[in-house]
Structure 1
Amino acid sequence: MTKMFANKDKKIKEVEEESKQAKLQLNEIMKVMKTKLDLWTQLMSQMESQTEVGSGSGTGMGEAACRKVFLTSRTKCSIASSMILNETYASSGAKVIYSVASGLGHHWEPHRECRRRVTCILDCLEVANLTPKLQGSEIIQLDNIRTATMEDITSVHSRSYVSNLEKIMEELDASGEGILPFDSIGSTYVTTKTLQSSFVAAGAGLSVVDSVVAASKVSENPPIGFALIRPPGNHASPYKKVPMGSCVFNNIAIAARYTQRVHGLKRVFIIDTDVHHGNGTNDAFHDDPDVFFLSVHQDGLYPHNTGKVDDLGHGNGEGATLNLALPKLTGDVAMRNVFDEVIVPAAQKFKPDIILVSAGYDGHVLDPHGRFQLTTGGYYTLTSNIKQLAKDVCGGRCVFFLEGGSNLTTLANSVVESFRAFVGEPSAPPDFKYNFFLVEEPSLKVKEVIQKIKHLHSL
């Protein structure tokens, strides 16, 4: 017993020392970064002065034009400040950098897609000692996330789509109802704050991208990124007029366009592990040869009639869409085979600059909205494999985006397993109560799908 406490005290002292050294490094970096921030602050002040002069002068800019210039400069300043600070975090030797946007204003308690999805994850990370407080500099939570701009959103969705949402928010606010279900099956809803929460969620994802890319420029082993955000995004399609599948903006598609536009990372490899086909992301890049979309999902599940194996993309993008439509009861063994035989060779062939992951956890055996039978240990293995794949093909640049998962317990525990994989901790011991629900996997059917995919994509 004495030895156990001594080891625990030793570990605490080691973490405290690491944290102390990290803080010293950050202080030095912050001195340099403060100079950059001061320059941006001066720029914003100058633009504000121009606005005042222009609006009061008959020969200057008009008031509306000046306001537009000022707001644009303020937005750019905010984004630059966020990128500078996140670059500072990225230089600290972290193993995982994450952001949190729990969608406080987008909440409907009876609904499965509510803010408790994120708060439960945060609680479990705390219990598992996987927080910045307990892991020193290895785990960093971004406290300087930014809101997505209209340019970010309209890189995927039309301006009319956003305008339609704005109109719905206004009508909802005027009616005093507060909540508007969007479809007959109750999968999607909006509140008066949904649009605001969705801009924040998309921006939180971009903030993580900034940090991971910045870290990859100074380290051969950059941290993995995780955007713990909601509402999720993989069902939000640029071809739809309204949200669907609990999704408003397609966060990962917006991030893909952002990495291309802002960071010059042309080739993006997206892995969607949600049990439901990511139809929105599929639509967004269907004809784009520079974004490879790979979805592992249950065949025939919502949104129905999408994600078929023979959907390879079209036009210039033919071959850059890969849909692994797997049979129900697919589990950990099948997922490992799929990863080794399809995902790895597809990524090696595509040669991406970055990997983005639509991290759905609704393939768990106890999740009520799918018929896969993955376990928390299976998600640990999948995350570890993706982490290694990113190191092998794109310098370790990899960002996860939270998607589905409606059983709060298995969702939180599975995300915890992903974090364990990020920092290199062993997986938690298996929970044998899952064995009661596990049945034999359809290995022959899975093998048939794998062989067909390998033939169609020449893998």
Structure 2
Amino acid sequence: MMHFESQYRSREVYELQNIKPALLDDIALVHSRSYIHGLEKAMPKAMDEGIIFIDGSGPTYATETTFEESLIAAGAGISLVDAVVEASMVNYNPPIGFALIRPPGHHAVPKGPMGFCVFGNIAVAARHAQRVHGLQRVLIIDFDVHHGNGTCDAFYDDPDIFFISTHQDGSYPGTGKMEQVGQGSGEGATLNLPLPGGSGDSSMRSVFDEVIVPCAQRFKPDIILVSAGYDAHALDPLAGLQFTTGTYYMLASNIKQLAKELCHGRCVFFLEGGYNLESLSNSVADTFRAFLGEPSLASQFDDPTMLYEEPLLRVQKAIQKVKHIHYL
């Protein structure tokens, strides 16, 4: 696999050093202080027991370093927002940020952790962009196979943060219905796009071009943040949307172009799900190739025999068959 570390590609890839952990006040812009302090107080128990269960609504665990590591993960997102915004002031085509962080964040709800997620990294970064940089209108695109319910909940009544999620219909945690569009002044600033199992590459391309792009153009964001989950890949064991490495290259290329057109190139990706290490690493690497304007290597990784016919293609074939019979 091609190396993307800064020592191999110093003129194209910049690695932020000495990331500062997020402050508790940063986390409190999204999460309740009672949750934050409760988690911090649980660390001695985790030290004694090795691992503790910290969530009653999903499989989330903690070790003695979880609190510290979660602050670092959120701090990495904040630092990348700072770096991208600073670069955009002197360069109309600034670098795109990618937070390669763990734990992930998009399931963490304001009052607690959920689904492997401790703090809402992308939600914390969105509030930071608004509060520190004056980037009032934030577009969040979440293409993880699971609905980003925590991010959705955090901004459900906020008209200035437009949350768009594509996810597999009926998958964990069971939220993200199309009728969930926000509430109060935030009504219309949430767009959930549940996709049927097997939807695949062509459906995602159609959704992006025909729904996400025009919505983003109308919203006119000041920055785009992306919950980049790679668990919709056909090889991932947790779901069945059967995206390919090429799907992620397409998304990265198109989101990069969208950010260039709408918000001076300001864009930061946040790593979310991904549970097959091979497909995860290949897809993240191809995402970087898209950022760098290099050709995709997806054809070397994606075996067409792993896919089955997508629902949209079956419908299109059925329509063509009906038309053929009609004309006969």
SS in 1 for 2:42: helix
Aligned length: 316
Amino acid at match of 1:342: V
Does residue 300 (structure 1) correspond to residue 170 (structure 2)? The answer is: yes
Deviation at 1:172, TM superposition (A): 2.8
Task: From the CA coordinates, give the structure whose radius of gyration is larger.
Answer: 1
Match of 1:247 among 117, 121, 133: 117
Deviation at 1:298, TM superposition (A): 0.4
RMSD: 1.7
SS in 2 for 1:229: coil
- Residues 250, 338 of structure 1: CA spacing in aligned structure 2 closer, same or farther, 3 A cutoff? same
Cα deviation code 1:44-88 (max 9, x no counterpart): xxxxxxxxxxxxxxxxxxxxxxxxxxxxxxxxxxxxxxxxxxxxx
Cα deviation code 1:184-231 (max 9, x no counterpart): 897311011100100011001111111000000001101100010110
Deviation at 1:134, TM superposition (A): 2.2
SS in 1 for 2:49: coil
In structure 2, runs of 5+ residues without a counterpart are 317-328
Alpha-carbon distance in structure 2 between the residues aligned to 1:208 and 1:409: 26
Cα deviation code 1:84-114 (max 9, x no counterpart): xxxxxxxxxxxxxxxxxxxxxxxxxxxxxxx
Q: Is the 8 A contact 1:327 1:446 kept in 2?
A: no
- Residues 446, 348 of structure 1: CA spacing in aligned structure 2 closer, same or farther, 3 A cutoff? farther
Q: What TM-score comes out, normalization by structure 2 length?
A: 0.93
Does residue 208 (structure 1) correspond to residue 80 (structure 2)? The answer is: yes
Which structure dedicates a bigger proportion of its chain to helix?
1
Q: Is the 8 A contact 1:294 1:323 kept in 2?
A: yes
Does residue 316 (structure 1) correspond to residue 188 (structure 2)? The answer is: no
What does residue 217 of structure 1 align with?
89
Deviation at 1:232, TM superposition (A): 0.3
Alpha-carbon distance in structure 2 between the residues aligned to 1:288 and 1:446: 37
Alpha-carbon distance in structure 1 between the residues aligned to 2:298 and 2:54: 41
What does residue 192 of structure 1 align with?
64
What does residue 325 of structure 2 align with?
none
What does residue 338 of structure 1 align with?
207
Q: Is the 8 A contact 1:309 1:323 kept in 2?
A: yes
Deviation at 1:166, TM superposition (A): 1.6
- Residues 132, 446 of structure 1: CA spacing in aligned structure 2 closer, same or farther, 3 A cutoff? farther
Alpha-carbon distance in structure 2 between the residues aligned to 1:430 and 1:386: 21
Deviation at 1:278, TM superposition (A): 0.2
What does residue 307 of structure 2 align with?
438
What does residue 324 of structure 2 align with?
none
What does residue 44 of structure 2 align with?
170
Amino acid at match of 2:14: I
Match of 1:158 among 24, 32, 53: 32
What does residue 397 of structure 1 align with?
266
> Which aligned pairs between 1:377-392 and structure 2 lie closer than 5 A?
377-392=246-261
What does residue 263 of structure 1 align with?
133
What does residue 148 of structure 1 align with?
22
Q: Is the 8 A contact 2:245 2:301 kept in 1?
A: no
In structure 1, runs of 5+ residues without a counterpart are 1-126, 448-459
Deviation at 1:432, TM superposition (A): 6.9
Alpha-carbon distance in structure 2 between the residues aligned to 1:429 and 1:355: 25
